[in-house]
Structure 1
Amino acid sequence: MSVASHQTLRVLEGSYVLERAADGTDGVPRADVLAMVFGPDGSTVMRRNDTGADRWSALWNGDEAHDVQATGMLSAIVAPLAAGGLPVWVVSSYDGDIVLVPADRLDEACEVLEAAGHQIRR
């Protein structure tokens, strides 16, 4: 049985929004910023906002850190979500992955992941 197919994910407190930052200075780390990605299209900020439109809920699989060369860890999470028609936005750190799902579909996402063999901690 693969470690990837039986992960423990924790639902992070609150809701998050995704925003484009005009330049790197817009995303100066603040307490509400969970992640910032610098890409060829500019910067994207994932920040806590419990009242914003288009809110996302965050699932974290890094409490039980996996080897950075472990294969299939992220795909074991996003594949069942995709099969269930759930959109995701993902960012990874050294110890784990943050998988965002639409806040209004969190319960559905948790059910899909549990059916796939994962444990969800709320």
Structure 2
Amino acid sequence: MVPDVSAQRLHRVPGRFVVEHLAHVTLPEDDEWIALVRAPEGLTVVREAPPWSEAEHWTGFYGDSPHGTDVPGMLAALVGPLAAAAVPVFVASTYHADLVLVPEHRADEAARVLADAGHRLVVRPA
């Protein structure tokens, strides 16, 4: 039986992020990163935005219920509604869930879109 992926439990990841492209680099110079993707054209780095950063800031949504790699449609259930609402995304997948980043200035809109699509946004205690 295929699980219902239309109603994922998500939480907003605390913090602000930047997405960087480092051409011709195979590893970052520091360990202050959240996600790394190495490709032939260089390294993509997701890291917490330093206070002085002038780059575009992103905020993230992450699944509260681990799903592993064998459940189809989990990511599509999140990015599909966001794409239909013209909300840009950057995704970093983990073994258990997907980190879906959206531009910080569109975070509230993205939360509404995800809720309207049947996802449940939960607030984690501080």
TM-score norm. by structure 2 comes to 0.86
Equivalence for 2:56: 54
Letter in 2 for 1:26: P
The residue type paired with residue 45 of structure 1 is V
Determine helix, strand or coil for the equivalent of 2:4. Answer: coil
Q: What percentage of residue pairs aligned between the two structures are identical?
A: 39
* RMSD, aligned CA: 1.7
User: Aligned ranges for residues 83-122 of structure 1 at < 5 Å?
Assistant: 83-122=84-123
Aligned residue identity for 1:48: E
What TM-score do you get using the length of structure 1 for normalisation?
A: 0.89
Query: Are the aligned partners of 1:110 and 1:120 in contact in 2 as well (CA < 8 Å)?
Result: yes
Gaps of 5+ in 1: none
The match for 1:17 is 18
Runs of 4+ in 1 over 3 A off after TM superposition: none
Which structure has the greater CA radius of gyration? 2
Cα distance between partner residues in 2 of 1:121 and 1:95: 18
Conservation of the 8 A alpha-carbon contact between 1:18 and 1:47: yes
Q: How many residues align?
A: 119
Q: CA deviation at 1:41?
A: 2.0
Q: Which runs of 5+ in 2 are unaligned?
A: none
